[in-house]
Amino acid sequence: MKDYIVSVFAACLLALSSLAQSQPYPNKPVKVIVTTVPGPLDTFARMIVDKMAVSLKQPFIIENKPGAGGNIGTEFVAKSPADGYTLLFAIDTTFTVNPAVYKTLPFDPVKDFATISVPVTYGQLLAVHPSVPAKSVADLVALAKQKKLNYASGGNGTPSHLSSAYFLSTAGIDMTHIPYKGTGQSVIDVVAGQVDVIFAVVTGVLPHVKAERLRALAISSAKRSALAPDVPTIAESGYPGFDVSFAYALMAPAGTPDEIVQLLSREVKHAMALPDVQEKNRTFDYVATGMDPKQSAVWLKENRERWTGVVHRAGITAN
Whether pLDDT at 183 is above 60: yes
CATH topology of domain 124-237: D-Maltodextrin-Binding Protein; domain 2 (3.40.190)
Tens digits of residue pLDDT in 271-291: 999 999 999 999 999 999 999
What pLDDT shows up at residue 2? 52
In sequence order, which ranges of the chain are alpha helices (DSSP H)? 2-22, 40-56, 71-78, 93-96, 98-101, 137-146, 159-171, 183-191, 202-210, 258-273, 275-284, 293-314
* Residues 170 and 103: beta-carbon distance below 8 Å: no
What pLDDT shows up at residue 122? 96
What pLDDT shows up at residue 215? 98
Q: Considering only 4-18, 53-67, 92-106, which range has the smallest mean pLDDT?
A: 4-18
Tens digits of residue pLDDT in 144-180: 999 999 999 988 888 999 999 999 999 999 999 999 9
Distance separating alpha carbons of residues 247 and 221, to the nearest angstrom: 11
Q: Considering only 19-23, 172-176, 213-217, 290-294, which range has the smallest mean pLDDT?
A: 19-23
Whether pLDDT at 8 is above 90: no
Distance separating alpha carbons of residues 187 and 298, to the nearest angstrom: 33
Triad 299, 302, 308: Cα angle to 5°:
130
Banded pLDDT at 314 (limits 50, 70, 90): confident
What integer best gives the mean pLDDT of the chain?
92
Whether pLDDT at 91 is above 70: yes
Banded pLDDT at 3 (limits 50, 70, 90): low
User: Is there a shared CATH topology between the 23-121+246-314 domain and the 124-237 domain?
Assistant: yes
Banded pLDDT at 71 (limits 50, 70, 90): very high
What pLDDT shows up at residue 4? 52
CA dihedral 83, 86, 92, 94 (to 10 degrees): -100
CATH topology of domain 23-121+246-314: D-Maltodextrin-Binding Protein; domain 2 (3.40.190)
Report the DSSP pairing between strands 150-153 and 176-179.
parallel
| Residue 180, φ and ψ in degrees, nearest 5 | -125, 165
- pTM for the structure as a whole: 0.87
Banded pLDDT at 181 (limits 50, 70, 90): confident
Distance separating alpha carbons of residues 290 and 117, to the nearest angstrom: 9
What pLDDT shows up at residue 13? 47
Banded pLDDT at 317 (limits 50, 70, 90): confident
What pLDDT shows up at residue 12? 47
Whether pLDDT at 236 is above 60: yes
What pLDDT shows up at residue 182? 81
Q: Residue 155 corresponds to which amino acid?
A: G
What pLDDT shows up at residue 164? 96
Domain boundaries, the chain: 23-121+246-314, 124-237
* 3-class DSSP assignment, residue 101: helix
What pLDDT shows up at residue 17? 46
Instruction: Give percent above pLDDT 90 in the chain.
Output: 85
